Amino acid sequence: MKTIVVLTVLLAAATLADAARKPNVIVILADDMGYADVGFNGCKDIPTPHIDSLAAHGVRCSSGYVSHSFCSPTRAGLMTGRYQQRFGHENNPAWLPEDTKVGLPVNQTTIADVMKSAGFVTGAIGKWHLGAAPCFHPNERGFVEYFGFLGGGHIYLPGLKGGVEYTVPLLRNKEPLELKEYMTDVLSREAAAFVARHKTEPFYLYVAYNAVHTPLQAPGKYLSRFTSIADERRRAYAAMTSAMDDGIGLILRALRDNGLERDTLVWFFSDNGGPPYNVSPTHNDPLRGNKGTLYEGGIRVPFVVQWRGELPEGTVYEQPVISLDVLPTAATLAGAKLPGGLKLDGVNIVPHLKGESKGPPHERLFWRTGGGAAWAVREGRYKLLKPGKDAALQLFDLNSDIGEAKDIVSEKPDVVARLQKAHDAWNTELIPPLFESPKPAAKKKARQAGRTK
């Protein structure tokens, strides 16, 4: 009888412990990946079995968005759960290690700050691209552990040439290290090691691959998988994608091997849509546009959320969600207390993915680039778009026209007026960009220098 009682008590204690455990959170971010370059979105020439497994065992968000159409602003929004235009981070920061203004403003609370305050071990691995000055370093922004590089890109193989930003040493926290192997493999191993190292404590892990961003570089062991692809650039892109997929498999195996698969919420998405094919051989089908534009091809991305045993497996969620949702979702699950007065634009999407909340997570989603030169707003099936400074407004019904081929702006004046009003109200809450992207800034500097001669 005593044995039965003891076993009952132990089982009850174990059940309570499991119920009380706060789920780990892993965010895996690809860089410049095409919407159609994963198996779950129809890719035929590049197998992505491990990424596809996330969709098979989780929820594929068919209207999954990021908050900007290129690199750094998206990361600023992901890091803060806020539209990055609220605090002026609307462009890519130049590589200026001495400039304390070109980066994610230090007065902004990050997801790492929030999760760390809730008792989570916080780690970031890979591409940072939120400022190169010491004040912007991940260790200063809430991450206890960091391994990666601070710029917007990097060479993938030791000894290859590149600009200063692309050839700086790797960092383990603030200690410089030499790149000795293929970058994607190195980052994947670091991520898997983080999981194993912190298996007994709740953690938040941000894995930001620079794959599949240019330069298109891959070793023979991955290139040899794609001899059937005639286009050499597409072959290199495929090899880079395959390496990243292998790495994601390594991370997922680390979760399984350490008994954490059902205790971990895993996100996967790209930081923006694929670039034009002449820049990088990506496919965004059936979407219109690409990286840098506010057509769907620039902002709608492969987007999956897995939490085994909690989220329905192998399902598709069609309502729009956005990368801004990561912070409030993670904070809610962690029981974190948010700083007073912090205005978040994302929401906790777990009840929506579970089907417990029937309405859409967001009444509307907004985008702005170039300080307002281009903007878009999506409400339900409709998307109102101003694609450039002097361009006319366009309206699309995304439910029937995902490729944005038919402009119905003249057919729905009431919808146009409503969405224009909503955008104008949102825009009043934003501030001008704090810094310019490197290329426009360089051109402006050259023009100014020419006028002074």
Q: Of the listed 43, 71, 213, 352, which one is catalytic?
A: 71
Q: Are 421 and 408 in contact (CB under 8 A)?
A: no
Q: Which of 57, 68, 89, 129 is catalytic?
A: 129
User: Half-sphere exposure (CA, 13 Å, Cβ side) for 409?
Assistant: 13
Token code pair at residue 183: 């970058």
For residue 147, what are the β-bridge partners? 125, 172
The question of whether 50 is a catalytic residue gets the answer no
User: Residue 97: is the preceding peptide bond cis (ω within 30°)?
Assistant: no
30-56: string of b/e by CB count within 10 Å (b at 16+)? bbbbbbbbbbbbebeebbbebbbbbbe
The angle that helices 232-257 and 49-56 make with each other, rounded to 10 degrees, is 50
User: Cα(227)–Cα(82) distance, rounded to whole angstroms?
Assistant: 43
Q: Which residues does residue 386 pair with via DSSP β-bridges, in sequence order? A: 375
Determine which helix (DSSP H) or strand (DSSP E) holds 451, and give its type and residue range. helix 438-452
- Crossing angle (nearest 10°) for helices 326-334 and 71-80: 30
Is residue 135 flagged as an active site residue? no
Q: Measured between alpha carbons, how far is 102 from 438 in angstroms, rounded to an integer?
A: 11
Residues belonging to the active site: 71, 129
